[in-house]
A = this chain, B = another copy of it.
Amino acid sequence: MEDLAPAIVLIEPQLGDNIGAAARAMLNCGLQDLRLVRPRDGWPNPNARAMASGADEVLDRARQFDTLADAVADLRWVFATTGRRRDMVKHEVTPAEAAAEIHRKSALGERCGVLFGRERIGLTNDEVVLADAILTVPLNPAFRSLNLGQAVLLVAYEWFRFADETPPRQRIEAGLPRATHGELQIFIDHLEEALTSADYFKVDEMKPVIVRAIRNLFTRAELTDREVRTLHGIVTALVGRRRDQL
């Protein structure tokens, strides 16, 4: 994973907290190559470690550089994260597109990196010019200000998400097998019989409609066999109680 993953380059980060949050977000998403250009409070920074919440391996391997040019010297494609438009003709990509392009280029052996600017003022125009493309996160135009750690998270998350194969929606079985349709049928028969005895079906013509509605409801619930047994017990208990009351 690592060789294909982009480098994350933080330029003059001011707060150790944010470096730590960035490291945590990186490791959450399988990124490990953190590069720091002139961190304000020097390096290493204990505040970074506290905020990293265990992402120590990223901090331990982080490298410090004196210039941005040094930090990106081995990279073939560089994206500059920025929230505001520059007076500059350049391609701009979304985080999802950047992730797709990084995956494609990395698969060809071409290392990529993403630049993040200072907390308050971001990247200078001279720094943006060094990048092959601008990366802008689409956000609420009325409130675009993104924390540094959160900006790193979104870029890293899109990178992870691109190759992730988790099914969008799946049923967690938790070791409890689904009931068979035969088991469900026996329960519906049991319930129908109990309801008939209880004189629930006042009008005979309505009975098939009501039974169908009941069947649909319990089918949609995607019952486990244990749940079907629970429902049998509930019906039996309620019938017993009614008998006792008679």
Contacts and interface: CB of A to CB of B under 8 A. Distances in A.
Contact of A138 (B55, B160, B171): B160
Contacts of A153: 150, 153-154
Interface stretch (A8-16, A21-29, A106-114, A210-218): A21-29
Interface stretch (A63-71, A161-169, A195-203): A161-169
A134 B171 CA distance: 10
Copies of this chain = 2
B143 A27 contact: yes
A230 interface: no
A139 B160 contact: yes
A86 interface: yes
A94 B160 CA distance: 13
Interface string A26-38: 0111100000000
Interface stretch (A41-49, A172-180, A182-190, A237-245): A172-180
| A-side interface size class | 35 or more
Given A28-B140, A154-B153, A93 B145 contact: no
A169 B134 contact: no
Nearest to A222: B89
A219 interface: no
